[in-house]
Amino acid sequence: MTKEVIVYQIDSFTKEKFKGNPAGVVLNAENLTAEEMQLIARELNNSETAFVFRPASENNDFDYHVRYFTPTTEVPVCGHATIGALYAKAIEDRLESCTIKINTQVGVLPVCIERTTDDYQITMTQGGFHLSPAFDTATIRKIAKALGLKMEDLDEKCPLQIASTGHSKVMIGIKNRNTLNSLKPDFTALIQLSKIINCNGYFVFTFDSDDQNILTYGRMFAPAIGISEDPVTGNANGPLGGYLIQNKIIEITDGTFEFKGRQGETINRIGEIKVEVTVTDSIPETIKITGNAVSVFRTVMQI
């Protein structure tokens, strides 16, 4: 029997088509198998595709399930695909401002849809923040070499460690934006390292910014899950906020830490992401990411 699904292509963290981070979105995925989801994600060939479907019963504390697939594998959660999925849902259903709770592999997450005139801005509350111990010197050298970095390129105040709000990334702070933009990673070496450190994503960032509104520039590589370079990464910039607070790189005891990160410059898919971290006793508690989005196309796929 033929199945029909509504498919969007959404560019997240931008208002300009063909910039930011493209995500596939399937809005009515109730009848799809996991195999079919994987095949659709492979066909769309975005870094992630989000599949949105209603729960089987009404007795739930959430509104929708969302599953996320790269072209090669399912992943627990994805920031830009969540922004894209709820943006597509908002324009498809012509929603007013509201909060929708989505059920993901990292738990139930509230997503705020803010309607402004005829457009929307999306804010996602991410999963719980976790920071692993810093890597030993030998591992740091291997990571740096695989990324094409020298040890002296690393920012001394930024320990190399894994940060996560549900889909972990290695945080690698470096001194210079020119170095960031000229990186040519050894993807084979990164894939091998991912098996050893049990982390697939490498987020290289710098405070070397010429824009007072932008705190960091970054690049994110995850070849082990089929993503050579991700344009603008919610699951990197969000945890970065917690990482900066917990390591006291940014000093704040109580209140809210907000910043904007820019990513995708080198691959001509530049986008911006706003990060908000609620802080109590110098510990990050809640991390939210906010982004704009734009629809590139809507279609109906028959499978």
Q: At what angle do helices 187-197 and 137-147 cross, to 10 degrees?
A: 150
Q: Alpha helices, DSSP H only, in the chain? A: 34-44, 79-93, 137-147, 177-181, 187-197, 234-246
pTM of the model: 0.95
Q: Collapsing DSSP states into helix, strand and coil, what is residue 184?
A: coil
Pairing verdict, β 169-174 and 161-164: antiparallel
Cβ density class 155-192: b for 16+ within 10 Å, e for less: beebbbbbbbbbbbbbbbbbbebebbeebebeeebbee
pLDDT at 98: 98
* Amino acid 200: pLDDT: 95
Q: What is the pLDDT of residues 179-200, one digit of tens each?
A: 999 999 999 999 999 999 999 9
Residue 136 is given by DSSP the state P
Residue 266: band (very low, low, confident or very high) from pLDDT cuts 50, 70, 90: very high
Instruction: Quickly state the pLDDT bin for 216 (edges 50, 70, 90).
Output: very high
Q: Which residues are catalytic?
A: 48
Question: Which tokens sit at 159?
Answer: 């320990």
User: What confidence score (pLDDT) does residue 278 get?
Assistant: 97
Mean pLDDT to the nearest integer, 75-98: 97
119-138, pLDDT tens digit by residue?
999 999 999 999 999 999 99
- How much is the pLDDT for 83? 98
**Is the pLDDT score of 58 beyond 90?**
no
- pLDDT of 57 reads 83
Identify the DSSP state of 281: T
pLDDT tens digit sequence for 25-44: 999 999 999 999 999 999 99
Q: What is the DSSP letter of 223?
A: G
